[in-house]
Amino acid sequence: MKDLKKLTAGILAEKLEGLDAADIEKMIETPPDSTLGDYAFPCFRLAKMFRKAPQMIAQEIAEQLAGETAFHEVRNVNAYVNFFMNRAEAEADAVVDVLEKKDEFGRSDLGAGKTVIVEFSSPNIAKPFHIGHLRSTVIGNSINKIYDALGYDVVRINHLGDYGTQFGKMIVAYRKWGSEEDVRREPIKSLLSYYVRFHDEAEKDPSLEDEARATFARLEQGEKEETELWKWFREESLREFTYVYDLLGIEFDSYAGESFYSDKMDRVIDIMNEKGILQESQGAQIVDLSDYNMPPAIIRKKDGSTLYITRDIAAALYRKETYDFFKNIYVVASQQNLHFSQWFKVIELMGFDWSEQCVHVPFGMVSLESGTLSTRKGQVVFLLDVLNKSIERTREIIKEKNVPAEALEQTAKDVGVGAVVFNELSNNRIKDYVFSWDKVLNFDGETGPYVQYTHARASSVLRRTEEDVKALYEGSAVPDMALASSDAAYELMKAVRKFPKIVEEAGEKYEPSVITRHIIDVAQYFNKFYHDEHILVEDREERLARLAVTIAAKQTIKNGLALLGVAAPDRM
Give the DSSP per-residue string, 289-348. -GGGT---EEEE-TTS-B-HHHHHHHHHHHHHHHH--SEEEEE--GGGHHHHHHHHHHHH
Print the SS3 string covering 398-431: HCCCCCCHHHHHHHHHHHHHHHHHHHHHCCCCCC
In single-letter form, the type of residue at position 382 comes to F
> Where residue 370 falls among pLDDT bands split at 50, 70, 90?
low
CA distance 455 to 59: 44
Please say if the pLDDT value at position 519 is more than 60.
yes
> Where residue 262 falls among pLDDT bands split at 50, 70, 90?
confident
Q: Is 133 a catalytic residue?
A: yes
- Return the pLDDT at 13: 95
Q: What is the pTM of this model?
A: 0.92
Q: Looking at domain 383-564, which of 3.30.9.10, 1.10.260.40, 1.10.730.10, 2.50.20.10 is its CATH number?
A: 1.10.730.10
Active-site residue identified among 133, 320, 327, 558:
133
CATH T-level fold of 4-85: Gyrase A; domain 2 (3.30.1360)
CATH T-level fold of 115-262+306-372: Rossmann fold (3.40.50)
- How would you classify the pairing of strands 278-281 and 371-372? unpaired
Rounded average pLDDT over 149-157: 98
Please say if the pLDDT value at position 276 is more than 70.
yes
> Where residue 409 falls among pLDDT bands split at 50, 70, 90?
very high
Beta bridge partners of residue 154, listed in sequence order: 116
- Return the pLDDT at 384: 87
Q: What are phi and psi of 80, to 5 degrees?
A: -115, 145
CA distance 131 to 123: 11
CATH 1.10.730.10-classified regions of the chain: 383-564
- Return the pLDDT at 378: 52
Q: Give pLDDT tens digits for 187-229.
A: 888 998 998 899 999 999 999 999 999 998 898 888 999 999 9
Active-site residue identified among 130, 159, 327, 455:
130
> Where residue 558 falls among pLDDT bands split at 50, 70, 90?
very high
Q: Is 130 a catalytic residue?
A: yes
DSSP state of 385: H
What burial letters (b/e) apply to 171-191, b meaning 16+ CB within 10 Å? bbbbeeebeeeebeeebbebb
Please say if the pLDDT value at position 169 is more than 60.
yes
In single-letter form, the type of residue at position 418 comes to G
DSSP state of 124: B
Contact 396, 144 (CB under 8 A): no
> Where residue 458 falls among pLDDT bands split at 50, 70, 90?
very high
Active-site residue identified among 6, 15, 48, 127:
127
Rounded average pLDDT over 131-152: 95
In single-letter form, the type of residue at position 528 comes to K
Q: Give pLDDT tens digits for 304-317.
A: 777 889 999 999 99
Print the SS3 string covering 59-127: HHHHHHCCCCCCEEEEEEECCEEEEEECHHHHHHHHHHHHHHHHHHCCCCCCCCCCEEEEECCCCECCC
In single-letter form, the type of residue at position 308 comes to Y
> Where residue 379 falls among pLDDT bands split at 50, 70, 90?
low
In the chain, count H helices and then E strands. 22, 13
CA distance 155 to 534: 46
What burial letters (b/e) apply to 264-296, b meaning 16+ CB within 10 Å? ebeebbebbeeeebbeeeeebbbbebeeeeeee
Task: Give 149's Cβ-side CA count (13 Å radius).
Answer: 31
> Where residue 288 falls among pLDDT bands split at 50, 70, 90?
very high
CA distance 332 to 335: 8
In single-letter form, the type of residue at position 82 comes to N
Please say if the pLDDT value at position 303 is more than 80.
no
472 to 107, 322, 552: CA distances (angstroms): 21, 46, 11
> Where residue 397 falls among pLDDT bands split at 50, 70, 90?
confident
Percent of the chain residues past pLDDT 90, beyond the cut: 78
Alpha-helix runs per DSSP H in 178-206:
180-185, 187-204
Helix axes 165-177, 187-204, angle to 10 degrees: 90
Q: What are the strands of the beta sheet with 153-157, ordered from one edge?
A: 153-157, 115-119, 327-331, 358-361
The three-state secondary structure class of 145 is helix
Beta bridge partners of residue 360, listed in sequence order: 330
The three-state secondary structure class of 154 is strand
Q: Is 199 a catalytic residue?
A: no
DSSP state of 435: E
